[in-house]
Structure 1
Amino acid sequence: MDKSLDPRLRRGVTTCVKAVLMMHSQNANIALSDRCGAQGLFEYNQMSTLFNEVRGIAIASDILGLSIRFIADLLTMKYEIPPQTDPSSLLAKHELHFFKKASIKSHRMTQWKSS
């Protein structure tokens, strides 16, 4: 990661990566246990142990709280994410639309900016 970026922004990007990785690992564990069937529940396969460990990591890292803080900081414009490398891509257009829709002024805007 670029060390010249704002540390708050780096923390936010790390939060996004952590959330995506936890979501994918939980989905992979569920898919894997579905494919193993009843044998996945046997002690020697350790599927339930793996599932519980991944779930514990997701809970302990407090992804929801970190994500809420990151989005609140972005919407109150305390900092900005780096520009897209391809502004014409569908993902970039979706991001732009999302932030335009979510950045509507509200009665709490001054409270958020003051904290």
Structure 2
Amino acid sequence: MQLRRLTYVLTDRRLVVDAGAVWRRTRTQPLTGLDVPVVVPERGGAGTITFGPVDPRLVAAARYGAHRIKAVPLPIVLTGIAEPERVRALFAEAIGEARRKQAAGEPGDSLF
């Protein structure tokens, strides 16, 4: 039995995180609402990616499946990322492009 499944999808407008094998939870975040991606190295060359400076306690809570503590939404945390610096650079580029499009007045955000 698979206990947990994570899928990360980066579109030109959003980050979508789909978690869970039995109970699925999907979180979406417009790229224009994400802070600068930050890599937290893990053993074996993988890493965790957060967006902006984040309290390590919130990262730990998000890693274990919580979505909010009291009324505070937890940050999106991407765990077990291979080649995290390369992935961080892809996110930074996508976030920058989404912000440029928004500033230029291109069509608004849609789900996908």
TM-score, structure 2 as length reference: 0.30
Select the structure that is richer in strand. 2
**Which structure would you say has the larger Rg?**
1
